[in-house]
A and B are shown apart, each in its own frame.
Chain A
Amino acid sequence: MHNQSDLLLNLAWLIPLFPFLAFAIIPLGVYRNRKLSHGLVIGAISIAFLLSQIVLWRAVGVWSIEHTLAYESPIIHWLSSGYERFGLGIYIDPPTVVMLFVVPLICMMTFIYSVGYMNFSVQVDPRYSRFFSYLSLFAAGMLGMVIFNNLLAFFICWEILDICSYLLIGFWYEKRPDLDRITPQEAGLKAFIVTKIGDLFFILGLMLLYAEIGSLTYSVIFSHETLEQLTHTPFLGTDMATVIALLLFGGAVGKSAQFPLHVWLPDATQVPTPALALIHAATVVSAGVFLIVRTFPILQVADAGVLAFEGIPFVALIGAFTAIFASVVAVAQNDVKRGLAFSTISQLGYMVAALGIGAYVAGTFHLITHAFFKALLFLSSGSVIHGLEHGHHHAHEHHEEHEKWFDPHDMMNMGGLAKRMPRTYLAFVIGGLALSGFPILTSGFWSRDNILVQAWAGNLIVFWTLAITAGLTGFYTMRQLCLTFAGEPRTGAAQYAPESKPAITTPLLILAAFAVGLGWISIPEQLPVVGGIVPNWFHHFMLSTIAASEHVFDSTPMLIGAGLSLTGLLMGWLVYGYKPLKASEIDRIEAVMRKIRLGWLYRAAANHFYLDSLYQNGVVWAVLKLADLADWFDYGQPQKRESDGQIVLVKRHGVVDGIVHNAGRVGNLVSQAANWIDATLVDGLVNLVGATGRHVSADLDAFDLEIVGGIVNGVGEVKFLGGWIRHIQTGKVQFYLLIASVTVLVLIIGFFAIIFLPI
């Protein structure tokens, strides 16, 4: 342990601060100046990047001397409950260092790209500054999540990411839905609610842990004693550690879009592209996997047999199923961004499966390589889409052709872009190859290979699921590349699509370099020829604080993985690349499927197996009905009713309010009844007795009618009495008072009698 306060490592405090300040300052007035806004945001992230680099290299320096790394900064007072004092600090260990490398870099690239992207359109968005402000908050949330020393701060930052993705997905909220798709605002809401369901599990796990241990600080909850205590506390038929690990995993399922909570991610493609890259690569979805990485010690001691299927631990099961499910769906997507979204889901499934079978290093490594190549792919696709939009604009100017509906996201509208957009093409190809895990060269290969090797040693069902996914990944990646770039342009838009500006293409090329080179820090040393040239640095680094046995090098799974992904790529090329698609030709797989009468299956895959409509028409519908029912039960909405040809609002009282309201009405009725009794019986008696009073003048009568009748509410029925001896009416008021007093007295006596009787 490195326990002394370390000035350089303490700089980590400042990393999330600058992006947060940039976020906060923009709405206070800076937003009027667009250049200043984006300048501030990029400046802030650059400072964060530099600070991260300092902290990172200092941490690596400490590690290389002490061979372990778990630094906790001095702690500031934050919360108190009872005698407990909950402090906030920073915590630096290998996962933190790894994320400090990835997040600021990708954020910085994305922000620079955003400047190019948002200025690309002829008409600059009026919410330009707001966009950068949101981006900055995004970065602050992610960086805070990485550096703080407790799970509660982690959760806070995690929710900040939620709200950012909500705001960004719904950024173009006035946009109408594209054909049958949902509007951005609905997509944002969906993302928020669906991830919130996952968050519910997270917060429950968090609170169970807090209640059990009395702390959420990493150094406490991951300590040996705590883990011992958790595993030895029985809870819900298993032990506390397992329950907590599964609940925390629930949070990751929502955030990292694992089945069955993955539905928000494809719709999140409504977001402006740079933000999409952030959501899909560096932040939101990584956050879920990072949560598993962070709480890995708990997962490690959890009972893998709980909710397991055929010996596959629950976490691995969800991951592996998500991986293959999403890759099947990805094959049938024509929308370039949606295809990539499903590939993200599939790759996240890879990571989750890896962590589920205990492959800690492999899972983490895939997280960072994926962050780079997926950011690259999304930003490239953004460049393509923008090119297409401009091409569409251009084509209109020249040809006066008038298309009713043009979807720049649809790959069927592309084709032949390799010549038009060479730099984007290069970037896309590199990203695609990394995604499909092209052997030796790309980082995707090394990270995926790590996972496959672990799966081979761990569980064969998981291994084959992931291996087949690798083949499918190769296939759909090649399909995407060919549909977008190969052959001849299929529309006028594709024909006139221009290459993007350097502000867009430069970040692409930098990310591309990482997508290739990053793999080299984790090449198995036992591998012939290339192994050992670069030391397997990552492996040693990550395992310095976690006791996990892994990385048994094995050539069989590596060859199977490489073989399958190459086969997938080749198949993809044979189907889509050898003879590129012509304009107005339908997808070849779909054509084949239709021929063998399996068109429905293709459509089902294209529609994500109708899970969305199931949720919409099942769960959401039920909740809304329940809400209406609750409202009806409670108070009820006013109903329109026709009376005498006029529409009047009739107030309805639900059950709960009805009781209250009717209690009031009963009270009113009782008083009226009393009035009637009073008026007929009592007055009658009085009249009899006081018959002499008949001479009282009509003047007095009138006076009485107005004043006394006004005071004693409900004595409007004076008509009933005629003009008889009104002055005795005053006696009536007294009588009321008497009755009231007696009642109250009886009540009070009864109350005290009950209370003080020794029952």
Chain B
Amino acid sequence: MSLSILSVTLFAPLAGALLILVIPREDKRTIRSLGIAFAILTLILTTIIWIGVIQRGAGEMQFVERYPWISQFNIWFSLGADGLSAPMLFLTALLTTLSLFYSSRAIEERVKEYHVLFLILEWSILGVFLSLDLVMYYVFWEIGMVPTFLLIGVWGSKNRTYAALKFFLYTMAGSVAMLLAIIAVYFQVGTFEISDAVAGQPFANLPVAASIAFWAFFIAFAIKMPTFPFHTWLPDAHTEAPTAGSVILAGILLKLGAYGLIRIVLPMFPNQFAYYVMNVPIIPIMAVMSIAYGAMVCMAQWDLKRLIAYSSVAHMGYVTLGLCAAAAAFQLAKVGILPLSGDEFDAAAAAINGAAFQMFAHGIITGGLFFLVGILHERTQTHQLKALGGLANQIPYYYGITLVTGFASLGLPGLAGFWSEFFVFRGAVRFIPLAAFIGVLGVIFTAAYVLWKMVQHVFLGDLDEEKWGKLTDMEWWEKVTMWPLVILMVVLGLYPAPLLDTFNAATTTILQSLQTLLP
């Protein structure tokens, strides 16, 4: 294993994108094969990284590379992967590969640009997960927005311009705040290195400034996740985006926000986080609102794609709730009510594990759901629930796959989605029981909208023979797209240890660093 495996992995998609640039645009076949080849190459590399990280110890940064970048400002090009980022790298590569594979049949216009943008998008996402330097983090974060904007704006459906612009401006507003906060942190601790910045605990003696910096980061991530009330760009973006765009958007881009919260906000501003969880409970309210209110809004949707978009809001609420629990554990330990050790340590770790597990599980589940919606749309040209019905007998294979994915989405035990909810609530019940009790209600609404809206309206009831009598079942390439996701859902659902242990190592490290801050 070469020591520069991370930069090789990071630049593999970019190399692919550059290579595709020189291929004539008429040669769609080569472009597609090249795109998929580079995606698979990245997938293999990320798999190796994951295994390597486990072997070397997932609690610490592994394969670290540091090159001076802008030395005047102490900005480094530094890469590293640990138990938190390694699975996310894998998820990124996996969903990109599947998306390109699926798109090879679905996208016919501007194939060249599409592939270039897609690989650049993958590059930027990998960059965010890999960077150990805040400036680098920010740069990759911003780069990622451009291809997303174009993917929605060019290959989207009817109302795409509005959606793309809304997405861009909204996320931009958040990232401007983040940039300012990053610079502020630099002035405090004199470094952009994340681990050093965390260790330096910026603004430790300036509570108001710390709060402002905290919110600047938090809102940027909350918009990306998205958390109530910053979520309204999401339904528009998803409804208009092309299938693969939605998959990447829901599957990975939202996770950047969640990742930022776990990686940067919680370790860097634990006091502020805890303050706005326990003393001024704004964040738990946001989390619980995302879960319960998001599920409620889902129930009122009649557009399948919009419904799944809103379900992302609800599901990402679990991430926020899990982090709230961890922050609350920190606060309780600080004031001496509960220790942050023993059972309490395990409970707090469970909460963060749940949040991290949700990043992965939601990625495969909602990614899968968007593929499925795309597959249906290819055939029916509609997302409207009222136009569908009784398709179970017509397309049984599709029905089966959707059932499994839908059940995973509603958190059915035995499938991947369950663990995140379970761990989040297990931690939340210990530290913020009220929020946990209300949040659990979301589970019922989730069951209701998945079964009532997604399953019943699409598959059960009477079949409109005239309209859908000639509908064909899934083709082989669609099956190939879905199977890896379904297998992951089932395997992780029954035996979550491989993923959970990886996350747990990183989570334990984060909590240990919080422990050292306690008086």
Contacts and interface: CB of A to CB of B under 8 A. Distances in A.
Interface of A: 27, 77-84, 126-127, 152, 155-156, 158-160, 163, 166-167, 170, 173-174, 183, 185, 189, 192-193, 196-197, 200, 203-204, 207-208, 210-211, 214, 623-624, 626-628, 630-631, 634-635, 637, 656-657, 659-661, 664, 748, 751-752, 754-759
A192 B441 contact: no
B436 A664 contact: no
A756 B206 CA distance: 8
Given A174-B390, A214-B343, A207 B436 contact: yes
Contact of A210 (B213, B426, B456, B504): B426
Contacts of A214: 342-343, 346-347
A756 B419 CA distance: 43
16 contacts: A27-B400, A78-B495, A80-B500, A81-B504, A82-B507, A83-B349, A163-B412, A174-B393, A174-B462, A203-B440, A204-B440, A661-B232, A754-B209, A755-B184, A756-B209, A759-B208
B500 A79 contact: yes
B496 to A, nearest CB: 6
B452 A174 contact: no
B448 A631 contact: no
A82 B427 CA distance: 11
A189 B462 CA distance: 16
B229 interface: yes
B69 interface: no
Interface in B419-464: 419, 422-423, 425-426, 429-430, 436-437, 440-441, 443-445, 447-448, 451-452, 456, 459-463
B350 interface: yes
A121 B347 CA distance: 55
B212 interface: yes
Top 3 A-B pairs, shortest CB-CB distance? A82-B349, A631-B300, A82-B346
Contacts of A159: 412-414, 418
A126 B393 CA distance: 9
B170 A660 contact: yes
B302 interface: yes
B286 to A, nearest CB: 12
A13 to B, nearest CB: 14
Nearest to A24: B490
Contact of B496 (A79, A211, A628): A79
Given A82-B348, A170-B460, A193 B497 contact: no
Given A193-B444, A197-B444, A751-B212, 17 more contacts: A80-B497, A80-B500, A81-B349, A81-B353, A156-B413, A166-B451, A173-B459, A173-B460, A185-B461, A189-B451, A193-B447, A196-B444, A656-B231, A748-B180, A754-B209, A756-B209, A759-B209
Contacts of A158: 413
A620 B81 CA distance: 48
B511 interface: yes
B300 A630 contact: yes
B27 to A, nearest CB: 34
A656 B392 contact: no
A160 B412 CA distance: 8
Interface stretch (B93-101, B123-131, B255-263, B291-299): B291-299
Given A627-B296, A630-B297, A196 B347 contact: no
A624 B496 contact: no
Interface in B228-251: 228-229, 231-233, 235
Contact of A81 (B208, B228, B346): B346
Determine the interface band of chain B, counting residues with CB < 8 A from chain A: 35 or more
A677 to B, nearest CB: 23
B461 A174 contact: yes
Contact of A634 (B297, B407, B430): B297
Contact of A82 (B231, B345, B456): B345
Given A196-B444, A214-B343, A189 B452 contact: yes
Nearest to B495: A78
B501 A80 contact: yes
Given A27-B400, A77-B497, A81-B423, A163 B407 contact: yes
A755 B461 contact: no
B169 interface: yes
Contact of B232 (A82, A630, A660): A660
Nearest to A31: B396
A192 B429 contact: no
A660 B233 contact: yes
B358 to A, nearest CB: 14
B487 to A, nearest CB: 11
B195 interface: no
Nearest to A78: B497
Nearest to A210: B426
Contact of B297 (A79, A82, A635): A635
B103 interface: no
A82 B508 contact: yes
A624 B299 contact: yes
Contacts of A755: 184, 203, 206, 209, 212-213
A200 B459 CA distance: 27
B423 to A, nearest CB: 7
Contacts of B206: 755-756, 758-759
Contacts of B414: 156, 159-160
A254 B487 CA distance: 31
Contacts of A630: 293, 296-297, 300
A253 B333 CA distance: 38
Contacts of B393: 126-127, 174
A637 B508 CA distance: 45
A628 B299 CA distance: 8
B477 interface: no
Interface string B490-509: 00000111001100100110
A286 B301 CA distance: 37
A244 to B, nearest CB: 11
B334 interface: no
B395 to A, nearest CB: 14
Nearest to A758: B206
Contacts of B419: 79
A627 B440 CA distance: 17
Contacts of B180: 748, 751-752
Nearest to A152: B422
Nearest to B347: A211
Contacts of B231: 656
B496 A664 contact: no
Contacts of A752: 180, 183-184, 187
Interface string B385-411: 000001011000000100100010000
B329 to A, nearest CB: 11
Contacts of A203: 422, 425, 440, 443
Contacts of A200: 440-441, 443-444
A189 B350 contact: no
Nearest to A627: B299
Contacts of B413: 155-156, 158-160
B166 interface: yes
A616 B293 CA distance: 21
Contact of A637 (B166, B213, B302): B302
Contacts of A637: 300, 302
Nearest to B213: A755
A81 B357 CA distance: 12
Interface in B184-243: 184, 187, 203, 206, 208-209, 212-213, 228-229, 231-233, 235
Contacts of B187: 752, 756
B301 A211 contact: no
Contacts of A160: 413-414
A367 B233 CA distance: 54
B183 to A, nearest CB: 8
A211 B426 contact: yes
Interface in B288-316: 293, 296-302
A208 B443 CA distance: 17
Contacts of B346: 81-84, 214
Given A189-B456, A635-B235, A660-B232, A204 B426 contact: no
